[in-house]
Amino acid sequence: MAFLNSKSLIVCSILIVLCAVLYKKRSADLLQEKLGRVLHGLLRAEKKVGVERNTRIALGFGGCEDIFANVQEVLEKLDYTVPDDPAHVKDITSASDFVRIFTYFFGEGAAAERYVENATLFAEVAAAARDVPSARLALGGNAPAMARRLAIEGAEILLAARFTEQTRKQLPESIRVLGKPLDVDELHLVLEYSAGSKWGNYTASRANRFIIHSDKSNPFLDTLEDLEMELPSFDPSVLVVGGLQMMDNFPFKEGYREERLKKLNELLIKTDRSTKTHFELASFSDATLMKEIVDSVVYQCDSLGMNEQELPNLVSILTSGEIALISDSRPRIATVLDQMRTVFNLLKDTDESNGKRKLTRLHVHTLAYQAILTKKGSDWKNTMSAAAKASLTANRHVCGSNYIDTEKAKLLMDESFSTSTSEDSADRIPLEEQRPVSCWSEDEFDICLAPVLVCTEVLQTGGGGDNISSAGLLYQI
């Protein structure tokens, strides 16, 4: 110990700290290099495909104005407190119902979209949402979000949705809007939170949003008849149906909901085979409604799009007729792939009578990756590029910028993944940084999975699924 005097101790400590700093910097550099390689690979896959100028796509339903706001700011402004008994409330009639159902979903980090019956309450929350520092206004609704994305990508669009004249002007001119103008826009409140944010003793496991609306026009699919009239002459490559969640828990007059869905079903039956049909799922809580939608829409579609929470809900409805309100917010890839197989197997052999169609495409978008399954021999093209496109769109949408900055991105996918939870049929597939989209074949379908460069500086989560789904779809027609 004699020569370990205080001077050499200081030198030693400095060396150790220096090494730690250098090591940290080195691993940050390595991570950036890795993200750079993944980004480069995705961009290369995206560039392989161009969009034909005259691609025509028709979309319905529902339009609205979105107010995006940080939910904690809104709750604070309203002076709402954490409830003792969070629960899934069927009808949101009071402030206490609102905080109970919000807390229920927040605690699970699950996205949800719900109707609020009490107009006074809705106006109160809306006023607060408009007024907080994080508030942002945007043109919203599933179909308009997809329409705008597709128009930006160069497609010709027919959109069945109603807005005020004023709001209509915000849409690109290349979009043809059907439906009588409204006097007042429908309003949706997109209450967002980031991963790890707190509400009382609850912590959000991931970034997400709780959406509420008090719509008067959207639940009726008002523009259905307009679309029916225009569709034959527009003759699109794809008809996209979305926004049906606006019917969830809406107090319809006896039998009227069934009547509107029947009308939609008839439209799908009449739609020419040369037009592919795609249904974009959303969050549903009413099992009867969801079963009606399965019978009148899902069976009539060639293609389905959904997120990792909506997928188990669909599996549950198809297999047991029950709703699965909440599921794992970060499911294993193997689990999601198994659920995709289940959906495909249940819908691939649909008897093509009375306008029903066999399912040939399934796109599942998650925070961490994009998975697109297409039936072998079907008309869907470029699955690999479509998965890459969807993945890049996810980052661009959430970060709010077309340029992707790897300093503001992270990968949530592991180095490799298993293709199934069942041991004997599972393969392990490595994530190759140079060629990040993994594609493989199974008996009856091809599937591609692309990692998402998850945006770490979240600008918006709401509307992401629509944006992402439409980008993928466009590359496949």
Q: Which stretch binds ligand NAG (CB under 6 A): 92-100, 158-166, 301-309, 446-454?
A: 92-100
Given a contact cutoff of 8 angstroms between Cβ atoms, the answer to whether 200 and 76 are in contact is no
* 208 in contact with ligand NAG (CB under 6 A): no
Q: Which stretch binds ligand NAG (CB under 6 A): 8-16, 93-101, 378-386, 443-451?
A: 93-101
Angle of CA points 323, 98, 248, to nearest 5°: 35
Q: Which stretch binds ligand NAG (CB under 6 A): 88-96, 165-173, 243-251, 308-316?
A: 88-96
CB of 174: closest distance to ligand NAG in angstroms?
15
CB of 318: closest distance to ligand NAG in angstroms?
29
CA–CA distance from 164 to each of 148, 153, 160, 183, 464 (Å)? 17, 25, 14, 6, 24
Residues in the chain, overall count:
477
* Nearest-angstrom CA–CA distance, 206 and 327: 13
Q: With CA atoms as reference, report the closest residue to 286 among 260, 327, 251.
A: 251
* 120 in contact with ligand NAG (CB under 6 A): yes
Q: Which is nearer to ligand NAG, 32 or 93 (CB)?
A: 93
> For residue 55, with 0-12 CB atoms within 10 Å meaning exposed, 13-18 middle and 19 or more buried, which class applies?
middle
CB atoms within 10 A of CB 60: 30
Look up residue 156 and give its two tokens: 């010709």
DSSP per-residue letters across 285-327: --HHHHHHHHHHTGGG-SEEEEETTHHHHHHHHHHHS------
Given a contact cutoff of 8 angstroms between Cβ atoms, the answer to whether 372 and 316 are in contact is no
CB of 145: closest distance to ligand NAG in angstroms?
3
Q: How far apart are the first and last CA of the chain?
A: 76
Q: What is the pattern of x (binds ligand NAG, CB under 6 A) and - over residues 167-206? A: ----------------------------------xx----
CB atoms within 10 A of CB 190: 23
Bridge pairing between strands 238-241 and 208-213: unpaired
* Nearest-angstrom CA–CA distance, 371 and 312: 15
* 165 in contact with ligand NAG (CB under 6 A): no
* 93 in contact with ligand NAG (CB under 6 A): yes
CB of 458: closest distance to ligand NAG in angstroms?
12
Q: Which is nearer to ligand NAG, 124 or 442 (CB)?
A: 124
Instruction: Report the residue from 63, 109, 305, 463 that binds ligand NAG according to the rule CB under 6 A.
Output: 463
Q: What is the pattern of x (binds ligand NAG, CB under 6 A) and - over residues 416-455? A: ----------------------------------------
* 318 in contact with ligand NAG (CB under 6 A): no
Instruction: Report the residue from 73, 91, 124, 442 that binds ligand NAG according to the rule CB under 6 A.
Output: 124
Q: With CA atoms as reference, report the closest residue to 45 among 383, 311, 460, 405.
A: 383
How many residues contact ligand NAG, by CB under 6 A? 20
Q: What is the pattern of x (binds ligand NAG, CB under 6 A) and - over residues 385-404? A: -----------xx-------
Instruction: Report the residue from 49, 55, 77, 95 that binds ligand NAG according to the rule CB under 6 A.
Output: 95
Mutual orientation of helices 224-234 and 256-270 as an angle, nearest 10°? 0
* 81 in contact with ligand NAG (CB under 6 A): no
Which residues of this protein are in contact with ligand NAG, per CB under 6 A? Answer: 84, 93-95, 107, 118, 120-121, 124, 138, 140, 145, 149, 201-202, 396-397, 460, 463, 467
